[in-house]
Chain A
Amino acid sequence: MEKVLIHLEDFTMAYTDIPVIWDMDLDIYEGSITAIIGPNGAGKSTLMKGILGLMKPISGKVSIMGKSYKEVYKQIAYIPQTTTVNWNFPTTVIDVVTMGRYAGLGLFKRVNASEKEKALEALKKMKMEDFASRQISELSGGQKQRVFIARAIAQNALIYFMDEPLAGVDKKTENIIIETMREFKKEGKTIIAVHHDLNTLCEYFDHVIMVNKQLIASGRTEETFVKENIDATYGE
């Protein structure tokens, strides 16, 4: 029996008066690699932001490991679509990844050598160690994405939220990211990712959440990603 990690109840979200996410009841399972799929504007990123408390829902509640986000945020890493970063900020790749250690450090504590060591390990996993002293804004899109995933690895969380981690990255980066997701799973971690490419869905993800403003279906990919649900999600 699969164990529920994240539970949503009557979850409704809106930017204006029109709901983007409508009355969702949803379970996400521990140790899964779960994709959130749906057409453009279906509310995939919004759903993720809602679970993380980055946007407040109009109604409903989220529980993560039976608790609120604020109680468990240290166990959660989030990799947004990279647009939220201030690219003018003078900082190197290793410096950005070291920020992944800040959550565990707490207030006033300084970064020491062992934190840098852990950051470098994370960077090696993403095969980016040669770029450690590069300025972050000089990297390509795929390289940037790998740096932010390295930062999330350095965070050593239990749950990883990724908003389109594979969008616009090269094949090499895609392979490295998928390999990392599988490693996470082996370590008992959970990955939730917004995903676009339906061709790779079954290969990469064992669970899927299909949304189009409301929840269409969710569950194991092979049982859920079927014609009937696909039509309901992407059809008119």
Chain B
Amino acid sequence: MNISIITQYSFIVVAIGTMLLAMATGIVGTISILKGQSLIGDAVGHASLPGIILAFMISGRKSSLILMLGAIVAGIVAFLLIQIISEGSKIEADTAMAVILSAMFGMGMVLKSYIQGNPKYQGASQSGLASYIFGQAAYILREDVYIILTVSIISLALFILFYKEIKVYVFDMVYAYTIGINSRLTSLLIMIITMILIAAGLKAVGAILISSMLITPAVTGLQWSNSYEKVLVIAAVTGAVSAFLGTFISSAVKGFSTGPSIILIMSVIALFSVLFAPRGIVRMLLNIRKMRVGK
């Protein structure tokens, strides 16, 4: 393992991007979990693939920004479809998500193999499109880091600006209404933040793993504290630390890709927390035992 990697330009670029992204997703992910919508990131992530391929087919270029816009549009389409299905029929939201997720991901895969052998798209280089499926942080360019930077800062700024409203909305919707918080606008805001973060992170982490970025650090945060502020700080810090370590390991060890490395570290921390944190399983079992002994 080569420690001097840390000072290399390409490492610094990728590390800054993934760390910022993981901080923002960790924070926003707490909302998804507390609202009982942990799957939404998964659905939107998978659904973004056809958007990316279509954006490439239409524009004929592999500009990160254009592909990201494609991902956002596809994400919105998926989100609306899920809403329409779950509200308009007897199908539950999680079932609707599962259906839309696989349908749109399948469509993305079909489109991808269609353009692979198609002479019409030979002119433009397609290499790199696959990185949107599994994530390939090594392909992250300066342009991508700028996008991640911008999106993360916008998301965090919106979250901080509307912190009170988001908090009350997630904690107690009826109370939110009675103090004049517009629940439609708040849920729209949350949706937009989630959507742009997912779209910005796709290239680094991939459509399949991006939802872990939302959920895993947030799960960790929720195990450690009874205060939402502290949960947010813990989620952001574990996100950033995992992103740094994951990026480092993938740069230092041959054959390790960045996205999966980050997710793996996040997951180990989350698993440890679920077991041993103050709100974790071991503490709960000990408490039950203490109560029994006390009797």
Contacts and interface: CB of A to CB of B under 8 A. Distances in A.
A93 to B, nearest CB: 10
Contacts of A108: 161
B228 A78 contact: no
Main secondary structure of the interface of B (DSSP, over half): helix
Interface string B176-195: 01111000000000000000
Contacts of A84: 172-175
A192 to B, nearest CB: 14
Contact of B179 (A54, A91, A155): A155
B59 interface: no
B137 to A, nearest CB: 31
Interface string B156-178: 00000110110110111111011
A69 to B, nearest CB: 9
Given A76-B178, A78-B178, A155-B179, A92 B172 contact: no
A90 interface: yes
A77 B168 contact: no
Contacts, number: 69
Nearest to B33: A88
Contacts of B170: 86, 89
B64 interface: no
A123 B228 CA distance: 20
Contact of A103 (B162, B172, B179): B179
A73 B180 contact: yes
A91 B178 contact: no
A105 interface: yes
Interface residues of B, number: 25
Contacts of B165: 107
Nearest to A161: B178
Interface in A111-141: 111, 135
B268 interface: no
Contacts of A135: 226
A74 interface: yes
Nearest first, the 7 A-B pairs at minimum CB distance are A103-B179, A84-B174, A135-B226, A89-B171, A78-B178, A85-B172, A90-B228
Interface of B: 34-35, 161-162, 164-165, 167-168, 170-175, 177-180, 222, 225-228, 230-231
Given A74-B180, A95-B227, A102-B168, 17 more contacts: A73-B180, A74-B179, A76-B178, A77-B178, A78-B175, A80-B174, A80-B175, A84-B172, A84-B174, A89-B34, A89-B171, A89-B228, A90-B226, A90-B227, A90-B228, A90-B231, A99-B168
